[in-house]
Chains A and B, each alone.
Chain A
Amino acid sequence: MNEPTSRADLIAALAENCAPVRRVRPWEGTALIIAATAAAAIGASMVFGFWRGMLAGEASPFFWITNALLLVLGTASTAALVTGALPQVGPRPNAPMWAFALLGALPLAAVIQLLRVPHAHLNEGLGDPDALHCLTSALAAGLVVAIAAVLFLRRAAPVALARQAWLTGLASGALGTLAFGLTCPLDGIVHLGLWHVLPVPIAALVARVIVPPLIRW
Chain B
Amino acid sequence: MLADEATFARLMAAMQQGDRAAANVLLTEAGLWLERYFRRRVPPGQVDDLVQEVLIALHAKRASWDPARPFLPWLAAIARYRWVDHLRRVYREAGEALEEDAGAQDSGEDGVLARLSLDRLFARLPLGQAQAIELVKIEGLSIEEASRRSGQSESLVKVNIHRGLKKLAALVEKAETT
Mask, A1-29, CB within 8 Å of B = 1, is 00100111011101111111111110000
Chain A 61-102 interface residues, beta-carbon cutoff 8 Å to B:
85-90
Closest to A158 in B: B81
In angstroms, Cα B173 to Cα A17, docked, is 33
Are A87 and B16 in touch, CB under 8 angstroms?
no
A residues less than 8 Å from B27 (CB atoms): 11, 14-15
Give Cα A104–Cα B170 distance, bound, in whole angstroms: 28
Task: A136 to B172: give the CA distance in the assembly, Å.
Answer: 36
Taken residue by residue from 157 to 176, chain A's Cβ proximity to chain B (1 for < 8 Å, 0 otherwise) reads as 10111110000000000000
**Does A217 sit within 8 A of B, measured CB to CB?**
yes
Residue picked from B18, B64, B65, B176, most chain A C-beta under 10 Å: B64
Interface size on A, residues (CB 8 A): 34
Residues of A close to B19: CB separation below 8 A: 18
- Residue interface mask B50-81, A partner, CB < 8 A = 1: 01100111011111111101000111111011
Contact for B77 among A10, A18, A89, CB less than 8 A: A89
CA A217 – CA B62 in complex, angstroms? 13
Check B16–A10 contact: CB distance below 8 A. Answer: no
When the two chains form their complex, are residues A18 and B15 in contact, meaning their CB atoms are under 8 A apart? yes
Known contacts A7-B31, A14-B27, A23-B66; decide if A89 and B76 are in contact (CB<8 Å): yes
B110 on interface, CB distance cutoff 8 Å: no
> CA–CA, A105 to B62, complex, Å?
43
Cα distance, A204 to B76, chains bound together (Å): 29
A156 within 8 A of B: yes
Query: How far does the alpha carbon of A168 sit from the alpha carbon of B29 in the complex, in Å?
Result: 35
Contact A10 B177 (CB under 8 A): no
Determine how close the nearest CB of chain A comes to the CB of B17; give it in whole angstroms.
Answer: 5
Residue B20, interface by CB 8 Å:
yes
State whether A20 touches B16 (Cβ < 8 A).
yes
Kindly list chain B residues whose C-beta atoms are within 8 Å of the C-beta of A25: 66
Q: Are B57 and A18 in contact (CB under 8 A)?
A: no
Interface residues of B in 60-109 (CB under 8 A from A): 60-67, 69, 73-78, 80-81
Bound-complex Cα distance A10 to B74 (A) = 21
A88, A89, A157: residue with the most chain B Cβ atoms closer than 10 Å: A157
- Chain B minimum-CB-distance residue to A90: B73
The 18 sampled A-B contact pairs (Cβ below 8 Å) are A14-B56, A15-B23, A18-B15, A20-B16, A20-B17, A21-B16, A21-B63, A23-B16, A23-B64, A23-B65, A23-B67, A24-B64, A86-B65, A87-B78, A87-B81, A88-B74, A89-B80, A157-B78
Q: Which residues of B does A touch, CB under 8 Å?
A: 15-21, 23-24, 27-28, 31, 48, 51-52, 55-57, 59-67, 69, 73-78, 80-81, 173, 176-177
Across the A-B interface, the 10 shortest Cβ-Cβ residue pairs: A87-B77, A20-B18, A157-B61, A159-B81, A157-B64, A15-B24, A21-B63, A15-B23, A18-B23, A11-B27
